[in-house]
A and B are shown apart, each in its own frame.
Chain A
Amino acid sequence: MAEAHPVGFQWVVEAQQRGAKVIHVDPRFTRTSAVADKHVPIRVGSDIAFLGGIISYVLENGLDFRDYVVNYTNAATLVSDRFEDTDDLDGLFSGFDPDKRTYDPTSWQYDVEDGPGEQSTAQADDSEETQAQRESAAGLQHEAHGMQVEGKPRRDETLQHPRCVYQVLRRHFARYTPEMVEQTCGVSQADFLEVCRAWTENSGRERTTALVYSVGWTQHSVGVQYIRTGAILQLLLGNMGRPGGGVMALRGHASIQGSTDIPTLFNILPGYLPMPNPDQHPTLTDYVDSIRNPGSKGFWSKADAYTVSLLKAYWGDAATPDNDFCFDYLPRITGDHGTYRTVLDMIDGKVSGYFLLGQNPAVGSAHGRAQRLGMANLDWLVVRDLFEIESASFWKDSPEVATGEIVPEECRTEVFLFPAASYAEKEGTFTQTQRMLQWREKAVDPPGDCRSELWFFYHLGRMVRERLAGSTDERDRPVLDLAWDYPVHDEGALGTEGAQAWGEPSAEAVLKEINGFDVATGRPLSSFVEMKADGSTAGGCWIYTGVFADGVNQANRRKSRHDQSFVAPEWGWAWPLNRRILYNRASADPEGRPWSERKAFVWWDPDKGEAGEWTGHDVPDFEKTKAPSYRAPEGSEGVEAIEGVDPFIMQGDGKGALYAPQGLIDGPMPTHYEPVESPFRNPLYGQQANPTRKQYRRDDNQLNPAPPEEHSDVFPFVFTTSRLTEHHTAGGMSRYLEHLAELQPEMFVEVSPALAREQGLEHMGWCHVVTARSAVEGRVMVTERLRPLRIEGRTVHQVWMPYHWGGGGLVTGDSANDLFGISLDPNVLIQESKVGTCDVRPGRRPTGAALRELVTDYARRAGIVDGVHPRVVTASADAQARSLAAAETSDDDQEGQ
């Protein structure tokens, strides 16, 4: 955290000075470790084993925060008797279809009162649907939609019943003993137990523990399950929804949170509404019901209002009740259209035009070579950036030009490099990692022809609409009916003729549309509760409704921190409805009293308002007047079904999910799988890596062999990449700046003294790192901050590299992202680019075509053959058969990868 989020780290240092203990678990001793009280070196890719071990420590010793767990999590809920765990099925959960490599989650469901097994269809999707969900990263939607739970699941408040979630969890993690953790993660038992004690002793009524991770954690083939493990542990110890607790994700870009809330992503619409697909969402009603699943609790029940408001914001008056508010205008997705799928399609020549908007995939995305080869096979490419980044100049100075794979004279891609306005030359909002929107005032006009994205896309849209104006073609209706007339200001301010004179669209007008307004009066809405499904309201993103409450740009509030509470609610605006800690109802006990005075945050004040109200330091993440004693009437659903003791108001059962019966494609509970490229056999069971992971089995995307395949010794070392404080992600905003570039001027590779001796590497000499994809070189930095670990009786060396370099800027070097292949987490299709195996050799890498010969030679020795791809499912055949038996669906579905 001190490396990539130093200013956020001030709060950790301050807490430490007040006596907090800071533990840093990281493969490498970083600047965070330097100040932390304890550094725990861990083998890359074994986080679930480590955290699972702590969960087991908590459950075996009954150290969980019992009142919290019983009332606020689904610990007491009983699981269907047809559920079988990984220990019985050699690493698979029940319901696994080896052909489609997905689960049918029917056997995972809760044991519902109207008889086990007769779960209504709404509750369980069959394995084909989950395959479709993997293809469309549905996890991202489910995660936000929460589970759909219909009917009253059986509960055992004493948590003794063998099939209650608490016991299922305990049995699941029973094998994660301190010895297992030591063997799998390379963490000594002493260190491991010290972390367990620190975490448990610092949780409960009086104290909370915070879990902080950087987004690299999500870049694993089991990334979502990493975060699930952290969430389960924090729920067991009662740290969720409370001050000083929770799970904090530290994102790397200014507005990554914003770019998933208002997503330039293929699988979701603003507000996490799913992009419709032809099978599940033929009509608007089907679409809405698929989100809210009638019968379930939670705020998703108003999905119809959110969807109609969005469609009204998109197509304005053209959206009327009789045409389902132009629902048919939405294009349909039919599977995986993620960036990696698109890049591979580019290589195959299926994509014509490509926009790069402040992103540099040539060095920023995994498998740099594929990214660049893809771009070399486009018709046209538009790059909008501050500098001439590698993705703009790939055709003349990329590594592939050096190896001859891209010959400038033969590369047909037409490239437009548009200069972009910087953050100080345009106004608008970022959404920070804590869901806070902050409005930036414009300082100066952009220089020369630099323009903002707002300018570029508003005018591009205008020009496209002009070109399609006369069209009677049905396909052009969505473009022509689009509500696209935003007020424009500063006409002619930056130039007199042609496009230079075009004005800048008003960012505030766009933010008002995002906030939502009453169609008739134009009055801005102040809460998504006001959204209607009858087309009388419009709103670009329901979770952002309230950012323009009372017609005031709440994101532009800057009341000084000296004049408000430590929660600082009047600085910027956090979604939803300015709640700064989500699910903060959980910071009060079932009767609504704070768990302790020290940790009071939100509580029930019986004599406030008519019959009592929730109050406290933050906006309560709960209906203001719903008393803790409120119990839902029989058969109620949606918001009404949320009871006074259900803090997790987005979940189908209002409880924190220790066990997720659905919504996750690779299992209801996290379990340890080895990374896709690992030198070790999975110590727990036959299934080596995540069986449901997304693979692109192509010859230009070969992976290093891992046990049980042979030749994994050709790439004996484990490597990972991460950030330096001085640079920013792939370097596009730091390698071009003298004051940053001179601080870390050269690409380097960190190795332990032991590895240096073993491979003959000399400090400040050169070395090159080789994988099945490519080889990159860097200066050697021999340091004790990396130490070999003892795993399963063998010593494993870990290599670390920064990934900030590329061919452009004041300081150039090889890009570490060239080393990674593409294998994705099944839930959200994020690539595994934080762990891999490699070889490290002294000296600089070969140049020109010789580079490809080196890589090909390694592939040959590693037994990598074109057309042949290692098995994904390595569990025993018997286990596969038994797991499949639990699946409900018939077997005639077609082959799917």
Chain B
Amino acid sequence: MAESRSLLPWPVLRQLTSGDLLGRGKAVRSRRTDEVEPRTTTADRVARSVCPYCAVGCGQKIFVKDEKIVQIEGDPDSPVNRGRLCPKGSASKNLVTSSLRETTVKYRRPHGTEWEELDLTTAMEMVADRVVKSRRDAWQELDEKDRRVRRTMGIASLGGATLDNEENYLIKKLFTAMGAIQIENQARI
């Protein structure tokens, strides 16, 4: 605040001395008001990112303070959106800091009626076992017309349009190597 802060504790005195007799501005400011700073200034760092919602690809700046995301807004340098965002892009902080986000693995046993907790290691082991088993059980060296196909019809996958190219690359590479061909994503719905 360019103006210097008066030392008088009682605003009424400041009204008399600071040319703000009606107590409209300079005289009535609280200390907190004088020392206010935006989160975008007090942030530790800024990550340059891209909005996860539609395919326009609006540039975003993610402000981080004490390892927590404190603000996400448009990137003014981006030629795509010139710092602007739509309601969904503007709600990105609400998305990543939502209290409804899942943070632990949940497991539903066959015929179960409730979720159960599962630690990450066990879950990964269980999925790896099932992948190997399902792959083998539904393996087709030859199809019904005796054509060599070397594939498994036991594993299917859906998803990719919200994922990164690098992720899609590994997914396609791994599934193809395993012979899983029923691989699809939102591009076809």
Q: Is B150 an interface residue (CB 8 A)?
A: yes
- Nearest chain A CB to B56's CB is how many angstroms away? 4
Hey, which chain A residues are within 8 Å of B128, CB to CB?
460, 463-464, 467
Compute how far the CA of A500 lies from the CA of B114 in the bound complex, rounded to whole angstroms. Answer: 24
Closest to B129 in A: A467
> Contact at A410–B111, with CB atoms within 8 Å?
yes
> Contact at B111–A358, with CB atoms within 8 Å?
no
Hey, which chain B residues are within 8 Å of A497, CB to CB?
121
Hey, which chain A residues are within 8 Å of B183, CB to CB?
264-266
Compute how far the CA of A131 lies from the CA of B147 in the bound complex, rounded to whole angstroms. Answer: 18
Compute how far the CA of A543 lies from the CA of B169 in the bound complex, rounded to whole angstroms. Answer: 14
Partner of B176 from the list A331, A410, A558 (CB cut-off 8 Å) is A331
Closest to B154 in A: A352
- Per-residue CB contact flags for chain B residues 127-144 toward chain A (1 = under 8 Å, else 0) read 111111110011101010
> Contact at A351–B158, with CB atoms within 8 Å?
no
- Nearest chain A CB to B48's CB is how many angstroms away? 5
Compute how far the CA of A354 lies from the CA of B153 in the bound complex, rounded to whole angstroms. Answer: 11
Q: Is A430 an interface residue (CB 8 A)?
A: yes
- How many chain A residues sit at the interface, stated as a range, is 35 or more
- Per-residue CB contact flags for chain A residues 692-735 toward chain B (1 = under 8 Å, else 0) read 00000000000000000000000000000000011111000110
> Contact at B57–A352, with CB atoms within 8 Å?
no
> Contact at A254–B52, with CB atoms within 8 Å?
yes
Q: Is A630 an interface residue (CB 8 A)?
A: no
Since A262-B169, A353-B134 are in contact, a sample of 12 more A-B pairs with Cβ atoms closer than 8 Å, ordered by chain A residue number, is: A265-B184, A357-B163, A361-B189, A415-B106, A418-B123, A448-B104, A513-B169, A725-B87, A733-B52, A733-B53, A733-B162, A739-B94
> Contact at A479–B105, with CB atoms within 8 Å?
no
> Contact at A254–B158, with CB atoms within 8 Å?
no
Lowest 10 CB-CB distances: which A-B pairs, in order? A448-B103, A428-B164, A357-B159, A432-B57, A498-B121, A264-B160, A331-B151, A253-B161, A568-B79, A278-B147
Compute how far the CA of A437 lies from the CA of B115 in the bound complex, rounded to whole angstroms. Answer: 39
Partner of A499 from the list B50, B124, B176, B187 (CB cut-off 8 Å) is B124
* A561-B77 contact in complex given A258-B165, A434-B57, C-beta closer than 8 Å: yes
Compute how far the CA of A114 lies from the CA of B32 in the bound complex, rounded to whole angstroms. Answer: 88
> Contact at B96–A426, with CB atoms within 8 Å?
no
> Contact at A379–B134, with CB atoms within 8 Å?
yes
- Nearest chain A CB to B148's CB is how many angstroms away? 6
Hey, which chain B residues are within 8 Å of A339, CB to CB?
158, 184, 188-189
> Contact at B101–A387, with CB atoms within 8 Å?
yes
Hey, which chain B residues are within 8 Å of A726, CB to CB?
87-88
Compute how far the CA of A564 lies from the CA of B146 in the bound complex, rounded to whole angstroms. Answer: 59
Those of A426-485 within 8 Å (CB) of chain B:
426, 428-434, 436-438, 440-445, 447-454, 457-461, 463-464, 467-468, 475, 478-479, 482, 484
Compute how far the CA of A71 lies from the CA of B108 in the bound complex, rounded to whole angstroms. Answer: 63
- Nearest chain A CB to B43's CB is how many angstroms away? 10
Partner of A449 from the list B103, B158, B159, B163 (CB cut-off 8 Å) is B103
Compute how far the CA of A408 lies from the CA of B115 in the bound complex, rounded to whole angstroms. Answer: 12
Partner of A464 from the list B57, B154, B178 (CB cut-off 8 Å) is B178
- Per-residue CB contact flags for chain A residues 388-399 toward chain B (1 = under 8 Å, else 0) read 100010011000
Compute how far the CA of A560 lies from the CA of B115 in the bound complex, rounded to whole angstroms. Answer: 48
Partner of B165 from the list A338, A437, A500, A564 (CB cut-off 8 Å) is A437
Closest to A463 in B: B128
